[in-house]
Amino acid sequence: MSPQPHKQGKSAKKRCEKFCRPAFFCNFAKHIRNAKTQTYALMFATTLLNWFAHNGRDLPWRHTTDPYAIWLSEIILQQTRIQQGHDYWLRFMQRWPRVEDLAAATEDEVLRLWQGLGYYSRARNLHTAAQQIVELGHFPDTLEGIRQLKGVGDYTAAAIGSIAFGLPCAVVDGNVYRVLSRHYGIDIPINTTQGKKIFTLLAQSLLPTDQPAAFNQAMMDFGAIQCTPQSPRCVLCPLQESCDALHTGRIDQLPVKQKTLKVQTRRLAYLYLRHQGQTAIRRRPAGDIWQGLWEPVLLADTMATQLPLPEKTAAQLRSEAILLRQEVKHVLTHRILLADFYFLSTAQRPQLPAEYIWIPEEQLGQYALPRLIENLLAAL
């Protein structure tokens, strides 16, 4: 049965009017305790759980309550598609099946296995959190304890807590924002403090406390499969009768997101140096993109406050080198990278800053490299 959160016979606008008035938000906590609202919440949850039972995704970390395996999946899936994250999760579980194994690994080993997933701070946080857990002696089993782990925010803590330990805490991610904003016609920007509070309260009010894991996973899957960002499957949606966005023609307008920072373009120039079967690389410093990863000689960077090479040295090397690729595009959050790639083979080893090390070329694959650098190296 499809839930009916508003009285039959009213227009869609009237049905959702109370969810759009500022006065409603001021009294939201009182409203969600209303018996009638709780009945609608039960109907919403029942419909969603029934959909999930027939349409939920079969994922390997859903066949366990091991908090380590669940935590690992949640960290990997931050900013990563399920298809790609699935393979990386399997690799990590095969390489380090216990949290103690991951904690004992080196940061370089973790970064190397993470290579290609991007957002490398996640890998460093994962490694640090594993060491936190080992030092604690067990995986924390409260929301407060889980939040103390490096790299774990409210969403990840709620996901781990509900799925691994049955804690009654609703998750709120992009999928949840989309489902709730469309269903209830809420047009408050989801990336504002007010928006986050409202959607968190609403999601929590809908959560059946005896099935938090199933409900949270159902919400995530419903947004990923049914109520998708583009071309949602409204005709087959079990919530279509009560969906405000469907009845008001606002599917493409919800959820609302406040405009964020302007995308910036950053230009880089790299040089692959070859000297007697060796090449020079350096580890990227803290406080910038790709912290802890390795790169060849950096000749230019339009956003760097200071380059590793003196300007005169960089210009000399560039003048002697061969340009292999130009303006190779790589997209990061709020930033577009355009990179030039040079090659120079020399009989005499150039003098480089101490932060560069010379390694045999065949060992380059043992170092964690940014995806952009991997793409550039393919031109050799």
> Which pLDDT belongs to residue 16?
35
* CATH number, domain containing residue 52: 1.10.1670.10
> Which pLDDT belongs to residue 182?
96
On whether both 178 and 321 belong to a single domain, the answer is: no
> Which pLDDT belongs to residue 28?
52
**What is the torsion angle, in degrees rounded to the nearest 10, for the CA atoms of residue 220, residue 221, residue 222 and residue 228?**
90
Residue at 367 is within a domain: yes
- Out of 210, 232, 253, a domain closes at 253
On whether both 218 and 300 belong to a single domain, the answer is: no
Residue at 3 is within a domain: no
Amino acid identity of residue 374, one-letter, is E
74 flagged as catalytic: yes
Residue at 217 is within a domain: yes
User: Running DSSP on this structure, what letter comes out for residue 284?
Assistant: P
The residues that bridge with 270 in the sheet, in sequence order, are: 298, 341
Q: Give the 3-state secondary structure percentages of the chain, helix then strand then coil, rounded to 5.
A: 50, 15, 35
On whether both 214 and 234 belong to a single domain, the answer is: yes
> Which pLDDT belongs to residue 119?
87
What is the residue-level pLDDT of the chain in tens, covering all 380 positions?
333 333 333 433 343 333 333 344 445 545 455 555 667 788 999 999 999 999 999 999 999 999 999 999 999 999 889 999 999 999 999 999 999 999 999 999 999 999 989 889 999 999 999 999 999 999 999 999 999 999 999 999 999 999 999 999 999 999 999 999 999 999 999 999 999 999 999 999 999 999 999 999 999 999 999 999 999 999 999 999 999 999 999 999 999 998 876 889 999 999 999 999 999 999 999 889 999 999 999 999 999 888 999 999 999 999 999 999 999 999 987 899 999 999 999 999 999 999 999 999 999 999 999 999 999 999 99
On whether both 295 and 238 belong to a single domain, the answer is: no
Q: Annotated catalytic residue: which of 17, 74, 135, 295?
A: 74
- In angstroms, the CA 247 to CA 207 distance is 25
The length of the chain in residues reads: 380
Residue at 2 is within a domain: no
Q: Which of 234, 237, 104, 255 is nearest to 185 (CA)?
A: 255
Place of tokens 């857990």: 133
On whether both 269 and 369 belong to a single domain, the answer is: yes
Residue at 7 is within a domain: no
Q: Where are the beta strands (DSSP E) in the chain?
A: 264-274, 278-283, 294-295, 297-301, 322-332, 335-345, 356-360
* CATH number, domain containing residue 88: 1.10.340.30
Structure tokens at 61: 């970390």
Residue at 4 is within a domain: no
Amino acid identity of residue 103, one-letter, is A
> Which pLDDT belongs to residue 37?
64
> Which pLDDT belongs to residue 258?
86
- Indicate the burial class of 262 (C-beta count within 10 angstroms; 0-12, 13-18, 19 or more): exposed
Domain count, the chain: 3
Residue at 82 is within a domain: yes
Give Rg (Cα) of the chain: 25
On whether both 190 and 49 belong to a single domain, the answer is: yes
> Which pLDDT belongs to residue 34?
56
On whether both 233 and 159 belong to a single domain, the answer is: no
Q: What is the pTM of this model?
A: 0.75
**What is the torsion angle, in degrees rounded to the nearest 10, for the CA atoms of residue 161, residue 45, residue 24 and residue 158?**
10
Residue at 1 is within a domain: no
On whether both 227 and 281 belong to a single domain, the answer is: no
Domain with 226, as residue range(s), is 12-58+170-253
- Out of 165, 181, 209, a domain closes at 165
* CATH number, domain containing residue 326: 3.90.79.10
Question: What is the 3-class SS of 152-177, one letter each residue?
Answer: CCHHHHHHHHHHHHCCCCCCCCHHHH
> Which pLDDT belongs to residue 10?
41
On whether both 80 and 31 belong to a single domain, the answer is: no
The 10 Å CB-count burial string (b at 16+, else e) for 191-224 is: eeeebbebbbbbbbbbbbeebbbbbbbbbbbbbb
Place of tokens 């194994």: 101
On whether both 186 and 330 belong to a single domain, the answer is: no
- Out of 165, 193, 217, a domain closes at 165
